[in-house]
Amino acid sequence: MESELGFWAFSKIVVLPRLLGGMYITLQLTLISGALGLMLGMVLALFRISRFSILKWFSLLYITLFRGTPLLLQILFIYFALPTILERYEINMVLDSFSAGVLALTLNSAAYLAEIFRAGILSIPKGQTEAARALGLSRHQTMYKIIIPQTYRRIIPPVVNELSALTKETSLVSVISLSELLYVTQRIGSKYLRVWEVYIWAALGYLIIVMVLSLIAARVEKRLEFKGGV
């Protein structure tokens, strides 16, 4: 019966209510993994430029691993393989598909974000560190009060790039049956056999999230410009 509805009616009655649910999950995936990825990425970046070679090597190994293998594989690995490995060591960890998705997306995006942060830190002229240290500020104070705040504005564009990529990559989590936007779309599409109507709405859903994200970023960038222009 629903398959006889026109485009707008079908969209309004069948597609949109369900897609909104999926979009909500997608948004949650993006925001949670994005936030955690930013934090982990900063830690990894600081490790990467650390004086201690063990931290440096750990970070390098991590980044190589997560950038060098497909995200799809990482998602499948964490959802299917990780629990069986942990079981061997008698650790019972049940990861539902949402947590597994968040974990994979966080670990993956952190690798890319770490390199963005590292590049940002290295782009600050050496004179800034020298001036801070000459004033008696410690290595830590110099990093957190002087160097990192200066990187904010210049890393916004690449960070937004990465977060947009992340938004779209959340669709890969559909392979572990998490009912995010793409998964829901596929289900409706095959149920009603009205494929193009559904996919167009799904595309629009991703587009909206990314555009809102870019808009917020542009605002923040503008705000920082007023503050000293760095």
Partner 1 sequence: MKKNEVILSVSHLSKQFGSNLVLKDISIEVNQGEVIVIIGPSGSGKSTLLRCLNYLEVPTSGEIHLHGMNLHPKSSESEIDAFRKNIGMVFQSFNLFPHLTVLENITIAPIQVLKISKAEAIARATLLLKNVGLSEKINAYPRDLSGGQQQRVAIARALAMQPDVMLFDEATSALDPELVGEVLKVMKDLALSGMTMVIVTHEMDFARDVSDRVIFMDKGLIVEQGTPQEIFQTPREQRTIDFIKRT
Contacts with partner 1 by CB under 8 A lie at 125, 127-128, 130-139, 141, 145-146, 149-150, 227-230
- Write down the least CB distance from residue 154 to partner 1, Å: 11
Distance of CA 123 to the CA centre of its chain: 23
In whole angstroms, the minimum distance from the beta carbon of 132 to partner 1 comes to 8
What are the CA-CA distances from residue 81 to residues 14, 17, 100, 169, 172 (Å)? 36, 34, 11, 20, 17
CB of 129 to partner 1, least distance (A): 9
- The contacts found for 68-77 with CB under 8 angstroms, 24 or more apart, are 71/104, 71/105, 71/108, 71/169, 71/172, 72/172, 72/175, 74/104, 74/107, 74/108, 75/100, 75/101, 75/104, 75/105, 75/172, 75/173, 75/175, 75/176, 76/175, 76/176, 77/104
Complex with partner 1: residue 36 or 119, whichever CB lies closer: 119
Q: Which is nearer to partner 1, 129 or 214 (CB)?
A: 129
Closer by beta carbon to partner 1, 88 or else 140: 140
Q: With respect to partner 1, which residue has the nearer C-beta, 3 or 138?
A: 138
Nearest to partner 1 of 196, 226 (CB atom): 226
Shortest Cβ 35–partner 1 spacing (Å): 23
Nearest approach in angstroms of CB 131 to partner 1 is: 4
